[in-house]
Amino acid sequence: MKRPIALALAIVLLVAVGWTYRASAAAPQTGGTLVIGIGADPTILDPMSVLNNEASYIESIIFDRLVAYKPGTTVPTTAGLAEAWDVTDGGKVLTFHLRKGVQFQDGTPFNADALIKELDRAMNPNNPNYYGKLAGVASHVPQTFRSLEKYEKVDAYTVRLTLRDPDATLIPTLGRAATGVESPTAVEKWGKDIIQHPVGTGPFMLEEWVQNDHVTLKANPNYWGGKPYLDRIVFRIVPENSVRLLMLRRGEIQILDGINPSDIASLRQDANLQLFEQAGLTINGVRLPTNAKPFDDKRVRQAMNYAVNKDEMDRTLYQGVADPMVTPMPQVEWGVAKLPPYTYDPAKAKQLLKDAGYAGGFKAILLSYDNPRGYNPIGSKMAVAIQGYLTRIGVQVDVQTQEWGTFLQTVRSGKWEGMSLGGYTGDNGDPDNFLYNMFSSETIPVGNNCFYKNVQVDQLLATARLTPDTAKRTQYYQIAQKFIWDDAPWIWVNSVRQVRAGTKKVHNYELNPLQVFFGMERVWLER
């Protein structure tokens, strides 16, 4: 059969979220440089070894993927490197028919041989360029290809994947930015240094990367989808939201990623600027180390949730651009369960601590990152607010702040036993992407940084992944959410809406629920 239609229809629910972009009846203009302000360096630019959202921003422009998404959504389409695919043998065999006439930015042809080499880099530990040989690098590979058993060339433009078990998440996952296909020639040339020398088939190619300052991409003149309107895209790395906003108002950047919620009202009133808004495919909160005292007691973790006034935080700190969490997933995700909220109740929080043997409270460390995130535009201010609320129930919190890259290394090391700010932006529009990545025991410590283990949750998530029927998958996910919500491995704070700003000279820019920069070949600047 062709693409998994039932899953696509389920994911289409995300379309109802809506998106904002500025189209124009005027004829597009060619040329010019678009400058985008972001808050952190991409760290690594190899999709197999992506570390942060900023890397995905850039990789989504340099690389194409087998599967594309319908613009503004996470609905899989055949507008990517695969013109079509067939799913047979009960979902265990996926045959991809590759697009012809495509070449990588270094001139290497894209075909079955190139794709097989990339898959081998992901799956074969004996491959000299195996992704796992990049010491200390986290990767999406084990989760993306968790059921992949065999990959083989059928002909010059056909590749067959054989899975041990059906995986209903694989097709939408193959559209995420982190599954971009790298040039085999570049991999051979650079080896482990490929992380700094990305070469894809996308509309823009790397021209210059000055770490912690800027990344410059230039138009790919041989892009199979047609040459982009823009000559260049520059990502300027400026950690402070307020500084980036000033640069936007001065015209030094044309698109701003990361906005202080307190600035949104003034942005709406600025005649020279436009806002791009979309309900967030995000979760935001505090991870609690379920493997360490006193957080190994569910009552303590629940107390943390009752102690924090999330409504007050949303109203004052997030200025109304966040929706409350009533489930471990964003409310706009399909398969979401509506669960009783952890209302602000410090008296109940104190009683739970007393029942757990901590009537006098305790001391704890809360690790924070130093820059705003797409899922948390107020950055470390959130940690300070949480500290204040927990103090009221006798929990003395020491907030420690680290640079983003160091923060990631700390919480993913498997050795951190304190609390830490947690957040996540969806990668593919599938519930498994949140629930498995964040709360499966299999993803400890890279995704599941709170060391949460629940055998029933693991079983439900595994069964849902094997189930092609969307209605049945929804039932499994909703049951799993109830367990996770009650176990409270996080302080559930909110789901922040995606908001970006731009000058009105930007045309045809369109948000995507995954917050990356798909479709930049269609963007043009009015001059």
Tell whether 204 and 294 lie within a shared domain. Answer: no
Beta strands (DSSP E) in 39-129 are 68-69, 76-77, 82-88, 93-98
Half-sphere exposure for 439 (CA within 13 Å, toward CB): 31
pLDDT of residue 29: 97
Residue 275 covered by a domain: no
Whether residue 425 sits in one domain with residue 338: yes
Overall number of domains in the chain: 2
Are 226 and 321 in the same domain?
no
Which residues are paired to 205 by β-bridges?
A: 218
Q: What integer pLDDT is reported at residue 405 of this predicted model?
A: 85
Neighbouring residues of 488: CB distance < 8 A, sequence distance ≥ 6: 288, 298, 301, 302, 304, 305, 342
The answer as to whether 440 is a domain residue is yes
Q: Domain check: are 180 and 80 in the same one?
A: yes
pLDDT number for residue 51: 66
Task: Read off the tokens for 109.
Answer: 């042809």
Tens digit of pLDDT for each residue in 181-238?
A: 999 999 999 998 999 999 999 999 999 999 999 999 999 999 999 999 999 999 999 9
Domain identity same for 363 and 224:
no
| Same-domain status, 221 and 291 | no
Mean pLDDT of 146-161: 96
Give 448 or 51, the one with higher predicted confidence.
Answer: 448
Q: What is the pLDDT of residue 193?
A: 92
Q: Is residue 19 part of a domain?
A: yes
Same domain, 381 and 486: yes
Same domain, 117 and 203: yes
| Cα gap 117→343, rounded to integer Å | 52
Task: Name the burial class of residue 185, with classes exposed (0-12), middle (13-18) and buried (19+) by CB atoms within 10 angstroms of its CB.
Answer: middle
Rounded Cα gap, residues 273 and 501, in angstroms: 7
- Residue 269 in domain: no
Q: What is the Cα–Cα distance from 10 to 3, expressed in whole angstroms?
A: 13
CATH number at residue 196: 3.40.190.10
Asked whether residue 271 is assigned to any structural domain, the reply reads: no
CATH of the domain at 371: 3.10.105.10
Residue 8: pLDDT band with limits 50, 70, 90: very low
Domain housing 158: 5-258+498-525
Which pLDDT belongs to residue 3? 39
Asked if residue 263 is part of any domain, the answer here is no
Q: Let me know whether 89 and 157 are in one domain.
A: yes
* 86 & 168 share domain: yes
Answer yes or no: is 190 within a domain.
yes
Q: Is residue 270 part of a domain?
A: no
Residues 475 and 457 in one domain: yes
Residue 7 has pLDDT above 60, yes or no: no
100 and 189 co-located in one domain: yes
Instruction: Give dist(CA 326, CA 294) in Å, integer.
Output: 24
Q: Say how far apart CA 391 and CA 331 lie, in whole Å.
A: 30
Whether the per-residue pLDDT at 138 is higher than 70: the answer is no
Phi, psi of 152 (to 5 degrees): -145, 150
